[in-house]
Structure 1
């Protein structure tokens, strides 16, 4: 009699799969198992043969037929998998996997000593049991508690669990556990008995990526862990989590304490598609990379000011999406009023040969459009000097745009630059001189000086405001040249001076409180950077 059943998890030569069909296949003899491989590249079809469909695959192309008598890898309970990984495998190979032993560091000692360390399972604080064919918690939970008395982090990625209840029983048996990863498992049953719903308060971090589950099933799973603050449910098909989606995120037991949520690699197309997350009062980190996000609001929605607001989010990862319009930054600034750090690389907005970094121009426009609360962009700190340069550059692009358009288009143009008034307050009101013949006179240009800065090793050309003080200018130039501004002096170099017979005049810029335009009137100048000790 066959022991196979629909939903059964199997392992063939360390390749995991789920039984989706049991029976005959037309045109062949004997019985078959229709399986869906966890690794879709192992599949040959999506559950059909010669025009007849026998089962459905959640991952297209991941299906195969195998004979029921094909030998499968033996499943493990938790303790048998643990011992196989950390005792049997070590004894066979003599090469232990990297692992923590509380505060004790493993030194390069003889194999017998290393093997002894691994046999002392009660000293382990972190355990990695991925691909160990674990199917059940096992019967003796007291033995689990004694064997893993100090276990704090447990990774059960890609195993043979079919019942969520088995994972819950395991977590209840490990009182010091605060981190659990069940990524890549394929649960058949998400129901949990009432007797197991308590005793999970010690779990703070839950990683449940790539479970191929519906939102309802994920909700039921997450709702059993009542004290989680860091949640990852990445890799799936979620398109939106709005108030009209049932069940609601805000109805989770952890809604009032959730601090970080990872929704990477789903099918989310706009930030407004996650409107229900606004109701999470402690949410600080929102990770949304590798989605399909193009805008803050979907095309069908109006941009009512204040409509969307994530009041406590300070870190947002929007990298590897489909953002292609600068207005995304303006809408995002309003939707995330306390945002402190942003990751936004690898979007069409920044179509460069090296997508890991932004060009100088795109970096400056990004910083110029962002609010002043944002202090980190793509993992790099935005310094005050960089912010000032970026805002001045952004102002210049707006002025240039306004100067070549009729006055009646000004309101429409400025509606796409929502920081305009704020930036004028910070950097001074701009005068727009329109020349519709195409010869624009940039109002900001008269306030900037193009400076060629020369040292003994290199020359750099940058624009600085006329009103910058010599002291601040020394700081900015010191940063560019990688030197301490207290160790350098600046000299104004003037060529072709009539009073000097057409020669070169050097003027020491000694007064650090003087503004640059005290010394010059030209639009382009040359400065020399010299070491004070010379």
Structure 2
């Protein structure tokens, strides 16, 4: 359907893949020829900004071209006679960005001071050079335009060069018949900014990777390269060019190729041209899966943010990276471990310590439980803003807060040291794992007879936690009644003052019944009122009555937790409770917040020690 280029009577030569700019908007030629129902010839273009166009390459039911973006509004038809923006060379773009003529601010009025009746300026306008300048009534120092221009023009000292969106091309470096590499001996870039360490060439008119390589070849100190938002029609290199590229990119450790819509195979191949590459970002490239083409094994940090990845198994090519330490998967649609039930979950290198899964579609705890298998070295996780934390329920059907969800995440991932950038302290882990054990016990209590194996199958750490803290008491009476009845919703609380000075005659022990759904803030207020102290002075500690072996990571030494953190009051029944040596009372501090009391306390009765802060 397309006509040969010789059929076009145009001032400028067009071809498929040509990069153009109209009024500062970048596009790529995808079609040359006629359009049914119209007269004359057209250029079918795909805009880099998909909201700029009007269709997807289709007109009148006829598909003329495909858009890489797959957007319904990325394509347009424009007349070849329409004049595009003039492309710039590297030196022109650099000068326009860093050494352009200063523009006068229309809001600033410069008033030259003259004496009343002085006609000297009328006779000699140049005489104003010697006059003081006043802005808003204040005399200021005059800095001549020549001085400003000279300061901006110190291009040779630039170390960070950002030429994003400067309508730049480098046609002299494009592939030509009979040549196996771009021209040698070029000095235009080196002459302009030889000290550049960081270079951003994003959103320009480059069509071939050779154009980028020919620029970087002249920057011997370059460490970081960014080429986002380009639409390369050719990323291949000849054997000769590959040898030169390995030398050109030898010192670059940080590479960003975002929003280029290149196939993963092409991006992975490009990374192998960077011998020292450690940090690579391929965000916003619309990937739904990665083809089996591993990137450079030197990578330690990889970012695949804002793509369309749906499962961890779509990242299988990354499991071969032996040094990968940090993997950023933010803002994808990841919800499963594998694409099919018969597929084995991927297992990444033990070197992967940091994982970012924020803003994905994770909705099940089974995904969280499987992370230690897929990431055996995982110690730092970001997992906020997932559906899992928006619909949490306790075993009795009561809603839990995202705060509860993060505690359960800590408890389910025993090797985790940092969650959402917050270090996990030993005490936080003790509270989280104790809380988790309590919820499992409550779930067992509500489960039907014979369903214990099914329940425990949903909690892989049950055995490990029971060995660490002791098996909690399962009060199966929970399941016999209606969890929505008034009796099931009330918790009988015995609160006693465990320390602090009290006025004579004030109560040291109270009993009360509180709804299980009331918040910790409400309980704190009731206890404070009962003892006649300000609620925020009270520290509430639920004594579970369970004696467990002292956790290995909680052994006390000088400067560790105070004795009151572990010792409970003697049983007032007079019967001395026996327990194993080196064991401690399992206690849970009820922290002020909106979390319901029923999610802190197991059972319908509780003893709470009140300590004054």
Identify the TM-score tier after normalising by the shorter chain. 0.7 to 0.9
Tell me how far apart the structure 2 counterparts of residues 191 and 124 of structure 1 sit (CA, whole Å). 31
**Are the structure 2 counterparts of residues 210 and 328 from structure 1 closer, same or farther at C-alpha, using a change threshold of 3 Å?**
same
Residue 294 of structure 1 is matched in structure 2 by: 335
SS at match of 1:91: coil
Residue 268 of structure 2 is matched in structure 1 by: 219
SS at match of 2:362: coil
Residues 1:81 and 2:103 are matched in the alignment: no
Residue 479 of structure 1 is matched in structure 2 by: none
- Cα deviations by residue, 1:279-314 (Å, 9 ceiling, x for unpaired): 11100011111222112233423668xx62431111
Pick one of 15, 19, 44 that aligns with 2:29.
19
SS at match of 1:127: strand
What TM-score, normalized by structure 2, do the two folds share?
Answer: 0.69
Pick one of 25, 41, 59 that aligns with 1:49.
59
- Cα deviations by residue, 1:263-291 (Å, 9 ceiling, x for unpaired): 12223221122122121110001111122
Give 5+ residue unaligned stretches, structure 1. Answer: 96-107, 470-484, 487-509
TM superposition shift of 1:94: 8.1
Pick one of 198, 201, 223 that aligns with 1:153.
198
SS at match of 1:206: strand
Residues 1:382 and 2:405 are matched in the alignment: no
SS at match of 1:227: coil
Pick one of 178, 185, 210 that aligns with 1:165.
210
Is 3-12 or 213-222 further displaced after alignment? 213-222
SS at match of 2:236: coil
- Cα deviations by residue, 1:377-415 (Å, 9 ceiling, x for unpaired): 122222222222111111111001112224532222112
Count of aligned pairs between the two proteins = 464
**Are the structure 2 counterparts of residues 19 and 230 from structure 1 closer, same or farther at C-alpha, using a change threshold of 3 Å?**
same
Pick one of 87, 90, 103 that aligns with 1:92.
103
Tell me how far apart the structure 1 counterparts of residues 381 and 452 of structure 2 sit (CA, whole Å). 30
The residue correspondences of 1:466-477 to structure 2 (distance < 5 A) are: none
Residue 394 of structure 1 is matched in structure 2 by: 436
TM superposition shift of 1:358: 6.5
Tell me how far apart the structure 1 counterparts of residues 541 and 171 of structure 2 sit (CA, whole Å). 66
Residues 1:179 and 2:218 are matched in the alignment: no
Residue 475 of structure 1 is matched in structure 2 by: none
Please tell me whether Structure 1 or Structure 2 has the larger radius of gyration of its CA atoms: 2
Relative contact order higher in (CA < 8 Å, ≥ 6 apart): 2
Tell me how far apart the structure 2 counterparts of residues 6 and 225 of structure 1 sit (CA, whole Å). 29
Tell me how far apart the structure 1 counterparts of residues 462 and 26 of structure 2 sit (CA, whole Å). 57
| 1:230–1:261 Cα contact (<8 Å) kept | yes
Residue 335 of structure 1 is matched in structure 2 by: 374
- Cα deviations by residue, 1:300-351 (Å, 9 ceiling, x for unpaired): 23668xx624311111111111110011111012221221211111111122
Tell me how far apart the structure 1 counterparts of residues 251 and 610 of structure 2 sit (CA, whole Å). 63
SS at match of 1:19: strand
Tell me how far apart the structure 2 counterparts of residues 109 and 152 of structure 1 sit (CA, whole Å). 34
**Are the structure 2 counterparts of residues 512 and 58 from structure 1 closer, same or farther at C-alpha, using a change threshold of 3 Å?**
closer
Tell me how far apart the structure 1 counterparts of residues 493 and 223 of structure 2 sit (CA, whole Å). 58
Tell me how far apart the structure 2 counterparts of residues 176 and 375 of structure 1 sit (CA, whole Å). 37
SS at match of 1:396: helix
Tell me how far apart the structure 1 counterparts of residues 299 and 48 of structure 2 sit (CA, whole Å). 30
TM superposition shift of 1:517: 2.9
Residues 1:366 and 2:414 are matched in the alignment: no
Residue 289 of structure 2 is matched in structure 1 by: 240
Pick one of 414, 437, 441 that aligns with 2:480.
437
Tell me how far apart the structure 2 counterparts of residues 358 and 111 of structure 1 sit (CA, whole Å). 63
SS at match of 2:51: helix
**Are the structure 2 counterparts of residues 47 and 13 from structure 1 closer, same or farther at C-alpha, using a change threshold of 3 Å?**
same
TM superposition shift of 1:131: 0.7
Residue 350 of structure 2 is matched in structure 1 by: 311
- Cα deviations by residue, 1:157-185 (Å, 9 ceiling, x for unpaired): 11110011111121221111111111110
| 1:10–1:72 Cα contact (<8 Å) kept | yes
Residues 1:37 and 2:47 are matched in the alignment: yes
TM superposition shift of 1:75: 0.7
TM superposition shift of 1:36: 0.7
TM superposition shift of 1:516: 2.3
| 1:467–1:515 Cα contact (<8 Å) kept | no
What TM-score, normalized by structure 1, do the two folds share?
Answer: 0.78
Tell me how far apart the structure 2 counterparts of residues 286 and 448 of structure 1 sit (CA, whole Å). 49
**Are the structure 2 counterparts of residues 217 and 517 from structure 1 closer, same or farther at C-alpha, using a change threshold of 3 Å?**
same
- Cα deviations by residue, 1:19-76 (Å, 9 ceiling, x for unpaired): 1112222222222111111011110111122222222212222111111111211111
| 1:448–1:466 Cα contact (<8 Å) kept | no
**Cα root mean square deviation, aligned:** 3.5
Residues 1:121 and 2:155 are matched in the alignment: yes
TM superposition shift of 1:375: 2.0
